[in-house]
Amino acid sequence: MAVSGVRTLSRMRTAGEFQTRSVEETRAWGARLAQLLQPGDVIALDGPLGAGKTHLVQGILQGLDFPREHVTSPTFTLIQEYPARIAVCHCDAYRLRDVDEFLELGVDELLGSAVICLIEWAERVAEALPRDRLSIGLQVSGETARIIKIGASGPRSEQILQQLLD
C-alpha cells in the first residue's frame, strides 16, 4: 500500500491517495485506519457500486476487534450498529431519496457522539454531515485493485490523514 501522491480534492484542505491491489489489501488499509479512529469520528465513503466500500468497512471493523465476516452492507437495513472496541454506526444512503430521509433515521444524533460513524454513499447526504470529516473515495483501477482518495476538512480529520501519510 504505497502512497502514490498527494493532491487537493475539492473542498478538502488536505488530501492523500493510496493504492491497494486486492480485497485483502483494502481491508488491511481499513484496519490500519481503524487504529487512528476514536469516538466521534465521521468517515464519508463514496465510490461506484462494487468499488469496495463495504470491504473497507470490514477492514475498519476488523481493526476495531470485530469479526469482519459479521459486517455486511446496510443497503436494505440502512443502519448497522456494531459493538466493536469502539462502537461503530455503519450507514448506507444509497436507497435514500434525500437528506431529510437520512435525518429521519436519527443519524444526526449519532454524528459526533460516542461512536464512529461510517457512511456509504455520503455524497447523497453531505449537507447533513459535520464539516470536520474524513472523506474517502474508492475507484476501481483493476479487477481487485483500488485507488483510495482521502480528503480531510478539519482539524481532527487532518490529524488522521497526516498519521496515514507518515
Is the pLDDT at 155 greater than 60? The verdict is: yes
Q: Do residues 12 and 44 touch, judged by C-beta distance below 8 A?
A: no
Cell readout for 44 is 464519508
Residue 76 or residue 54, greater confidence: 54
Q: What are the two backbone dihedrals, phi and then psi, of residue 45, each rounded to the nearest 5 degrees?
A: -110, 130
What per-residue confidence (pLDDT) applies to 141?
94
Instruction: Flag whether pLDDT at 6 surpasses 50.
Output: no
Q: How far apart are CA 54 and CA 151, in angstroms?
A: 19
Q: What is the pTM of this model?
A: 0.87
State the average pLDDT over residues 103-115.
Answer: 81
State the amino acid at position 48 in one-letter form: P
CB contact at 8 A, 139 and 13? no
Check: CB of residue 130 under 8 Å from CB of residue 159.
no
Q: Does pLDDT of 8 surpass 60?
A: no
Averaged pLDDT of the chain: 87
SS3 135: strand
pLDDT level of residue 109 (50, 70, 90 thresholds):
confident
CA distance 158 to 151: 8
DSSP-derived 3-state class of residue 67: coil
Of 9-18, 65-74, 123-132, which one has max mean pLDDT?
A: 123-132
